[in-house]
Chain A
Amino acid sequence: MKLQEISQQLSLEVQSAAGNLGKEVTGGYASDLLSCVMAKAQAGNVWVTIQGHPNIVAVASLLDLAGIIVAEGMSVDAATLEKAKEENVPILTTSLTTYTVVGELCQLGIPGVD
């Protein structure tokens, strides 16, 4: 499934890299600790977090993630969005809780990394 379809199914708001939603999503990962994400998330994964600072773009870019879903209605820093546009990293936001987002992703057939 592509990020574009996930975005539509979950009514996410695309905040950056709207032209880069066509990659196949290989799986999902959720954590607010960047060290965990660095250790576990795999290339092509969609990452669910409440963090909004620019380091999330660095992590997504390094790991070649499909995109970042910032949940719980948390704000994303302007500097983060700027960086995300430069790096072509999709950031999608939602007021849904992390738990609900992950549940929905599972229902769409997006597997975890373990």
Chain B
Amino acid sequence: MEGQRELRNISSPDLKDWSACMRELSLHILDAVENSLEAGATFVELAIEEDLAADWLTITIRDNGRGMSEEQLARISDPFFTTRSTRHVGLGVPLFKTAAERCGGDLTITSQLGQGTTLRATFQHSHIDRAPLGDITGTLLAVILSGSCDLHYAHRVDGREFAFSTEDVRAELGDIPLTHPTVREWLQNFINEGEVSLQRQD
């Protein structure tokens, strides 16, 4: 499934394959980033922190979108609340929150109108029901190749870190646009290698 992931057309009311979220946390991440883009974000910061000693996995997604009012924020975990007009239920945040709570963690969202939104999900790393991160490469590719926003990504596992920003990538590519066919393969390799470098070396 790697590399085949795409951002949903934000105006389309299609229902996602939510069953796959039971298998991969990266699909929750993709959904949260889609929410950021729908909120008009031009910048998204995604941080995945794995602290094995403290046994926590923390996923933080921060955007500069239009943000939410207190009232919207209070209802964000209600599956019958959505800002979309194309369907009347939004499952993304409630399912993400349920997954975190099931694993001894939590999901919190802070937001300010006109400033942006920060979503933070925590999981007990070793919890038996914690799904693996899954296809992070495919998820990042979908976000980057959509070209809709700048992305700052950081993945830390204990002391090791893999981080990059789309600004760095653009600088590296020079005049070649992100959408050029060879860029996809280059990016895929770049991200794969970065992720592999985080694996335990034993």
Task: Pick 25 A–B contacts, CB within 8 A, sort by A.
Answer: A32-B19, A32-B22, A33-B102, A33-B129, A34-B128, A34-B129, A35-B128, A35-B129, A38-B128, A50-B19, A50-B22, A50-B23, A51-B22, A51-B23, A51-B131, A52-B23, A53-B23, A53-B131, A53-B132, A55-B128, A59-B128, A72-B19, A74-B19, A74-B23, A75-B1
Residues of chain B touching chain A, judged by Cβ–Cβ distance below 8 Å, are: 1, 19, 22-23, 102, 128-129, 131-132
Q: Dominant SS at the B interface?
A: loop
Q: Enumerate A42-80 residues with CB–CB distance to B below 8 Å.
A: 50-53, 55, 59, 72, 74-75
Complex: how many Å from CA A33 to CA B130? 9
Kindly identify, within residues 15 to 36 of chain A, every residue whose CB is under 8 Å from any CB belonging to chain B: 32-35
CB distance from B21 to the nearest CB of A (A): 11
**B184 CB to nearest A CB, Å:** 22
Q: Give chain A nearest CB distance to B25 CB in angstroms.
A: 11
Give Cα A63 to B23, complex, Å: 21
Contacts of B131 in A (CB 8 A): 51, 53
Which of chain B's residues have a CB closer than 8 A to the CB of A38?
A: 128
Chain A residues near B132 (CB-CB < 8 A): 53
Q: How far is the CA of A114 from the CA of B53 in the complex (A)?
A: 39
B-side contacts of A35, CB under 8 Å:
128-129
Q: Give Cα A42–Cα B19 distance, bound, in whole angstroms.
A: 25
A48 to B73, CA, bound (A): 38
Q: What B residues does A53 contact at CB under 8 A? A: 23, 131-132
Residues on B with beta carbons closer than 8 Å to the beta carbon of A51: 22-23, 131
- With both beta carbons as reference points, the residue of chain B lying nearest to A97 in the complex is identified as B19
- Bound CA span A51–B21, Å: 10
A49 CB → nearest B CB, Å: 9
- Known pairs A34-B129, A51-B131; list 9 more (Cβ under 8 Å): A32-B22, A35-B129, A38-B128, A50-B19, A52-B23, A53-B23, A59-B128, A74-B19, A74-B23
Name the CB-closest residue of A to B103. A35
Q: Which residue of A lies closest to B102 (CB)?
A: A33
Of all chain A residues, the one with the shortest Cβ separation from B134 is A53
